[in-house]
A and B are shown apart, each in its own frame.
Chain A
Amino acid sequence: MENVLTVDGVCKNYGKFTALNNVSLSVPKGSVFGLLGPNGAGKTSLIRIINQITLPDSGFVLLDGEPLQKHHIQNIGYLPEERGLYKSMKVGEQALYLAQLKGMSYADAKKKLKYWFEKFGISDWWNKKIQELSKGMAQKVQFIVTVMHNPKLLIFDEPFSGFDPVNANLIKDEILQLRDEGATIIFSTHRMESVEELCDYIALIDKSNKILDGKLIEIKQQFKTNRFEVGVSCANEQALLTEIKTNFIAEKVKPVAYNENLRLLVNLKKEETSKHLIKFLNNKAQITHFTEVIPSVNDIFLKAVANNE
């Protein structure tokens, strides 16, 4: 698949501190790409390099196959984590100004803004000052400002902070719609459940190094631990538990379904498959529940970071 963004061997030092150490990534076109990492890992440094706010010490970044140039600014929409607007400037005036800074003409900007303001039902805010709006309202304006120039690449750093669940959902749908319309989205957040929900690809940066990247499904494959969750219904659960524990590594958890009296998390050995377990259980009890435990992004994150220690 074609890559919108290629980061190759990027290093960045601030004095003696290394913010990025030989980081390479590829962001496929039309994907939602999760850029993850603990605080201070170097995500923001990387995003700033992509936005040409700072330059890498070495390595290069390609956008659509071309080395980053000034005019690429209008192909990128960036919603920084540290964001804000001029407090004493009127909403419309400010949005027009920021749109023109992105290279839009006055007329285009005005048309586009009208579209977005109507879409969000906030047309009557045009002449209000930002300081008269609530934080959530200002965030909506900020979102519009980020996307209004139809960029190919959108970078969202914690896009949902400051939104209530209703509006967070609205923004999420907008992001997905933009993706469907052809934009590629880089998404940096600490909310793992939204990564799970939105991202096709992820990259994990820790201590200035990229420690993991790829398709989310494949990474999950990589991180699965041959662990299964089973529920059974049987006559003597105590006897069964002892028997299972002699054959497998298992731990008991609270039964969930009404028709089961034993629920277990079972870790299989490398050479074993689910067949072994099913076969074993089928002879002794009635299986009510059987799933493979897929690691969550949260688990992967914690594990990868712990391994990097």
Chain B
Amino acid sequence: MSKLKLIIKREFLAKVKNKSFIILTILSPMLMVGLMMLIIFLNDKNSEKIKTIAFVDESTLLASAFIDEETTKYIDLTALGLQEAKLKTAAFYNGLVYIPKNNNLQNLSKGIRYYSADMPSIHVVDNIESILEKKISDLKIAKLLVDVEKIKAAETTVEIDAENFSGVKSSKMGSILRMIAGGGFGYLIFMFIIIYGTSVMRSVIEEKTSRIIEVIISSVKPFQLMLGKILGNALAGILQFVIWMILAGLLLFIITAVFSVDTAGSESAIGQINPEMIRQVNESATSNLQLILQEIKNLPILTMCFSFIFYFLGGYLIYSSIYAAIGAAVDSETDTQQFMMPVLMPLVIAIYVGFSVIENPHGPIALGFSLFPLTSPIVMLMRIPFGVPWWQIAVSMFLLIISFIGIVWFAAKIYRVGILMYGKKPSYKELYKWLKY
């Protein structure tokens, strides 16, 4: 077996056999799912609690609008008068709607108040507003001697199905999904680069502090060792990614099979969509779920997975070789800070830019940052679900490969000198000198 293979194997096993790797790989998706379930569950519990809202309608025109709903009951306290009603509400109910005496239909909407012990949620106020708006409009229409039912029959909802020129349908829901997918993948790469980059750095520092480094490089070239270490860790990262994707696929399958209706309902409850839509969604829960599944199928999943692996490898190779050089330059992890900042900076910028990019995936900023090799792994990956012209991907990949070669060369030089230097923390000036040794 070649020496590089031996090193890769050792590094891979050292990483994969580690307990924290196993825990992170198996447990964290479960934790994620568990957390999501918990949120959905709590959300359900929260909205299941029945609220009782009292009202005092001095105008006597709007009382009929308050019809009990699944989660909200309405109680007419008009007979008690405002002062009494307030006291009673404070003692027994969640809130009180006060509609002042008013004979003029035009002014009816003015002066309506909502009293409650604590700040009401926007949700509650929105709901009451929409109930009253509807009733008042109905009253106004009735006054015009027009049949309300006929008007209702004339109302139309329009849902536009967007479709691109090659025939791929998209919708608002699709865009949201794309944002989630792009953002998720971009963030995943960010996490992977940091986690695996630091792991390479730690492993280099470990070899330095345990003083095995000189034993090893009397058998292999420092570059071989560095490359083997980086590739071994990359394989562990890919393994983790594949496991996560398989788990995600399984979970998606189970969720669609078992909890189909529930999930669809709660998912739209998580999104900030107005109550009107919730009702709609609940009515058409099944068809909505199909829509989501359809949208997921519409995502360029294969392209996304392959580009994830490519950009992960490219970005990771660049950053981890820098991390390896840092690890070689210092004696302990506490000394790494001064070098970490400039490394983390482009990554963090990429994440921030990336999240604005998913709102405008084809703008000049998006293009620029998805070509620049230090940010492209994250930003391009966030753009890919929205469809990126192939030449942009090609240029971005080309630049990534070129700079990867350059940076690895540069890092290897520092690494080669650094691993044999003990005892002092080098300055940037010294690092520059090492390049010329």
B134 within 8 A of A: no
Q: B218 touching A97 by the CB < 8 A rule? A: no
- B176-212 contacts to A, CB under 8 A, are 206-207, 210-212
Stretch at the interface among A80-88, A164-172, A192-200: A80-88
The 0/1 profile, CB within 8 Å of B marked 1, for residues 66-97 of chain A is: 00000001001010101111111100000001
User: Are A100 and B6 also in contact (CB < 8 A) when A14-B437, A15-B436, A15-B437 are?
Assistant: yes
Residue of B nearest to A101 (CB): B219
A84 partner residues in chain B, CB cutoff 8 A: 210-212, 215
Q: A85 touching B210 by the CB < 8 A rule? A: yes
Cα distance, A14 to B418, chains bound together (Å): 13
A98 within 8 A of B: yes
The 0/1 profile, CB within 8 Å of B marked 1, for residues 156-179 of chain A is: 000000000000000000000000
Q: A97 touching B6 by the CB < 8 A rule? A: yes
Q: A78 touching B436 by the CB < 8 A rule? A: no
Cα distance, A243 to B10, chains bound together (Å): 77
A53 within 8 A of B: yes
The 0/1 profile, CB within 8 Å of B marked 1, for residues 271-283 of chain A is: 0000000000000
Q: A101 touching B3 by the CB < 8 A rule? A: yes
Cα distance, A52 to B220, chains bound together (Å): 9
Cα distance, A52 to B212, chains bound together (Å): 16
Q: A83 touching B212 by the CB < 8 A rule? A: yes
The answer, among B10, B214, B217, B437, for a CB contact under 8 Å with A97, is: B10
Interface size on A, residues (CB 8 A): 27
Cα distance, A40 to B212, chains bound together (Å): 21
User: Are A86 and B6 also in contact (CB < 8 A) when A78-B215, A98-B219, A102-B219 are?
Assistant: no
- Say how far A39's CB is from chain B's closest CB, in angstroms: 13
Residue of A nearest to B210 (CB): A84
Residue of A nearest to B433 (CB): A15
Q: A101 touching B210 by the CB < 8 A rule? A: no
A51 within 8 A of B: yes
A145 within 8 A of B: yes
Cα distance, A100 to B4, chains bound together (Å): 11
- B1-25 contacts to A, CB under 8 A, are 1, 3, 6-7, 10, 14
Cα distance, A52 to B219, chains bound together (Å): 9
Q: B219 touching A73 by the CB < 8 A rule? A: yes
The answer, among A80, A98, A101, A102, for a CB contact under 8 Å with B214, is: A80
A101 partner residues in chain B, CB cutoff 8 A: 3, 6-7, 216, 219-220
Residue of B nearest to A88 (CB): B14
A89 partner residues in chain B, CB cutoff 8 A: 14
- Say how far B287's CB is from chain A's closest CB, in angstroms: 55
- Say how far A154's CB is from chain B's closest CB, in angstroms: 12
Q: B212 touching A85 by the CB < 8 A rule? A: yes
B42 within 8 A of A: no
Interface size on B, residues (CB 8 A): 24
Residue of B nearest to A15 (CB): B433
Shortest beta-carbon contacts, A-B, top 10: A84-B211, A101-B219, A80-B214, A84-B210, A78-B218, A51-B218, A84-B212, A82-B211, A102-B219, A53-B217
Cα distance, A52 to B218, chains bound together (Å): 7
B352 within 8 A of A: no
Cα distance, A85 to B436, chains bound together (Å): 30
Residue of B nearest to A105 (CB): B1
Q: A100 touching B215 by the CB < 8 A rule? A: no
User: Are A86 and B212 also in contact (CB < 8 A) when A51-B218, A53-B218 are?
Assistant: yes
Interface centre among B207, B210, B219, B422 (most CB of A within 10 A): B219
The 0/1 profile, CB within 8 Å of B marked 1, for residues 37-61 of chain A is: 0000000000010011100000000
Contacts A53-B420, A73-B219, A83-B214 known; 11 new A-B pairs at CB < 8 A? A15-B433, A53-B222, A78-B214, A83-B215, A84-B210, A84-B211, A88-B14, A89-B14, A97-B10, A101-B6, A101-B216
Cα distance, A73 to B3, chains bound together (Å): 12
- Say how far A278's CB is from chain B's closest CB, in angstroms: 54
B206 partner residues in chain A, CB cutoff 8 A: 86-87
User: Are A87 and B218 also in contact (CB < 8 A) when A15-B437, A100-B1 are?
Assistant: no
Residue of A nearest to B436 (CB): A15
- B216-235 contacts to A, CB under 8 A, are 216-220, 222
- CB-defined A-B contacts under 8 Å, sample of 16: A14-B437, A51-B218, A78-B218, A82-B214, A83-B212, A83-B215, A84-B211, A84-B212, A85-B215, A97-B6, A98-B219, A101-B3, A101-B6, A101-B7, A101-B219, A106-B1
